[in-house]
């Protein structure tokens, strides 16, 4: 469970929010010709990194505003939230505190509780 800092309302419980997947995915301009691949990637393809990730959330049971954030998917820590019209922060400004929790391999996950 997270505390999410809604840019409009302030820190609130995760149960008030809904996740909207990867942020900064641009919808192709419908007035122009769109290739199969370009459209297919927009509709179906999303990144799923372990580590820092631009993500969309909506304050469903609050102000109902959409906003963006940077979340470390390996720790679940939300590092910054920002409004849709704000520039996306440079990921180099953040350190992924622990690259993989509990010394898990970088790809996949494990159940290690003991230091190797």
Partner 1 sequence: MKSINLKENQFIQFHQKISFKFDGVKYFGYKGDTIASALLRNNINLVGRSFKYHRPRGIYTCGIEEPNALVQIISEYSEPNTRATIKKIYEGMEIESQNRWPSLENDFGSINNLFSPIFSAGFYYKTFMGPHKKFWKNLYEPLIRRAAGLGKPPKDFKGISNHIHHNVDVTIIGGGLNGLLAAKSFINSNYDVLLIEFEEQLGGIINNSNKISLIDNKEPKDWLKETIQEIEESKNVKILKNTLVTTYNYINHLIAIEDRFVGSKPIEGKVNSTLHKIRTDHTILCNGHIERFLSFQNNDLPGIMLSSSFEKYICRYGIAPSKEPVIFSNNSNSNSLVYSLIKAGLKPKAYIDSRSGEKIEPNLFDLIRKNDVPLYTNSQIKGAFGSKKIEKILIEDSSGALNEIKCDQLCLSGGINPDVHLFTQSKGLLDWDEKDLTYKPSKPFQPTITLGSASGQFNFDHLNSDINDKLKNFKIKKLDVKLELNTNAKYNIEKLWEVSPQKKSLWTKSFIDLQNDVTTKDIRQAITEGFDRIEHLKRYTTNSMGTDQGKISSINALGIVSDLLDKKVNEVGTTIYRPPYAPLSFSAIAGRNCYEFYDPERKSPIHNWHLNNGAIFEDVGQWKRPWYFQINKDETMHEAVQRESKNVRENAGILDGSTLGKIEIKGEDALEFMNLIYTNSFTKMKQGSARYALMLGEDGMVKDDGIICKISDQHFIATTTTGGAATVLGCMEEYAQTEWPNLKVFMNSITEQYATFNISGPKTREIMKKAFPDINFSNEEFPFMTFQFHEFNGVPIRILRASFTGELGYEIYIPSNSALKIWEGIQSFGKEFGLAPYGTEAMHLLRAEKGYIIVGQDTDGSITPIDLGLSWMIGKSKKDFLGKRSLTRSDTVREDRKQLVGIVPSNKEDKLEEGQHIILEKEIKSPVPMLGHITSCYHSSTLGHDFALAVIKNGHSMIGTKAYASTSSMSTTGVDIVKPVFYDEDNKRLVS
Q: Which residues bind partner 1 (CB under 8 A)?
A: 1-3, 13, 20, 27-31, 34, 36, 39-40, 42-44, 56, 58, 60, 64-66, 75-77, 84-85, 98, 101-103, 111-115
Nearest distance, CB of residue 67 and Zn ion, angstroms: 8
Q: What is the rounded distance in angstroms from the CA atom of residue 105 to the CA atom of residue 85? A: 36
SS3 of 45-85: the string is: CCCCCCCEEEEEEECCCCCCCEEEEEEECCCCEEEEEEECC
Per-residue interface string for the shown chain with Zn ion, residues 6-25, x marking contact by CB under 5 A = x-xx----------------
User: What minimum distance in Å lies between the beta carbon of 24 and partner 1?
Assistant: 10
6 binding partner (options Zn ion, partner 1, none; Cβ < 5 to 8 Å by kind): Zn ion
Pairwise CA distance, residues 70 & 39, whole Å: 25
Answer yes or no whether residue 59 interacts with Zn ion by CB under 5 A.
Answer: yes
Residue 116 to residue 102: CA distance in whole angstroms: 10
- 65 or 91: CB nearest partner 1: 65
Tokens of 65: 């505003």
Residue 88 partner contact from Zn ion, partner 1, none using kind-dependent CB cut-offs of 5 to 8 Å = none
Integer Cα distance of 9 and 72 in angstroms: 22
């Amino acid at each position: 469970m997270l505390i999410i800092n809604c840019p409009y309302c302030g820190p609130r419980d995760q149960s008030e929010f809904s996740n909207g997947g990867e942020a900064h995915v641009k919808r192709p301009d419908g007035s122009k010709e769109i290739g199969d691949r370009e459209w297919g990637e927009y509709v179906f393809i999303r990144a799923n990194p372990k580590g820092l990730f631009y993500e969309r959330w909506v304050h469903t049971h609050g102000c109902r505003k959409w906003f963006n954030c940077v979340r470390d998917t390996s720790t679940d820590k939300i590092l910054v939230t920002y409004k849709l019209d704000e520039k996306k922060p440079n990921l180099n400004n953040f350190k992924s505190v622990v690259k993989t929790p509990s010394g898990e391999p970088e790809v996949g996950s494990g159940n290690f509780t003991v230091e190797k």
